[in-house]
Amino acid sequence: MAQLIDGKAVAARVRAEVKAEVEQLKASRGLVPGLTVVRVGEDPASKIYVTGKKKAAEEVGFNSWEEHPDESITEDALLAIIDRLNKDPAVHGILVQLPLPKHIDSERIISAVRPEKDADGFHPMNAGKLSLGKPALRPCTPFGVMRLLQEVGCNPAGKRAVVVGRSNIVGKPMALMLLQADATVTVCHRKSDLKFEVGMADIVVAAVGVPELIKGEWIKPGAVVIDVGMNRMPDGKLKGDVEFEKAKERASFITPVPGGVGPMTIAMLMRNTLDAAKAT
Residues 46-95 have pLDDT tens digits of 998 899 999 999 999 999 999 999 999 999 999 999 999 999 999 999 99
Q: Which of 53, 220, 239, 248 is catalytic?
A: 53
Catalytic, 8? Answer: no
Q: What is the pTM of this model?
A: 0.96
Could you give the C-alpha distances from 159 to 174, 200, 204, 237, 256, in angstroms and in order?
15, 10, 11, 33, 22
Can you tell me whether residue 221 is helix, strand or coil?
Answer: coil
Do residues 257 and 240 lie in contact, with contact meaning Cβ atoms separated by under 8 Å? yes
Over range 19-27, report the average pLDDT.
Answer: 98
Predicted confidence at residue 188, as pLDDT, reads 98
- What span, in angstroms and rounded, lies between the C-alpha atoms of 227 and 198? 13
Catalytic, 97? Answer: yes
pLDDT reading at 235 higher than 90: yes
Confidence at 10, pLDDT banded by 50, 70, 90: very high
Residues 159-194 have pLDDT tens digits of 999 999 999 999 999 999 999 999 999 999 999 999
Catalytic, 120? Answer: yes
Confidence at 45, pLDDT banded by 50, 70, 90: confident
Residues 103-159 have pLDDT tens digits of 999 999 999 999 999 999 999 999 999 999 999 999 999 999 999 999 999 999 999
State the distance between the two ends of the chain, measured CA to CA, in whole angstroms. 47
Query: Could you give all domains of the chain from N- to C-terminal order, each with its CATH number?
Result: 30-115 (3.40.50.10860), 140-262 (3.40.50.720)
Q: Which of 118, 120, 241, 275 is catalytic?
A: 120
Predicted confidence at residue 241, as pLDDT, reads 98
Question: What letter represents residue 119's amino acid?
Answer: A
Do residues 179 and 159 lie in contact, with contact meaning Cβ atoms separated by under 8 Å? no
Q: Which of 97, 118, 227, 275 is catalytic?
A: 97
Confidence at 267, pLDDT banded by 50, 70, 90: very high
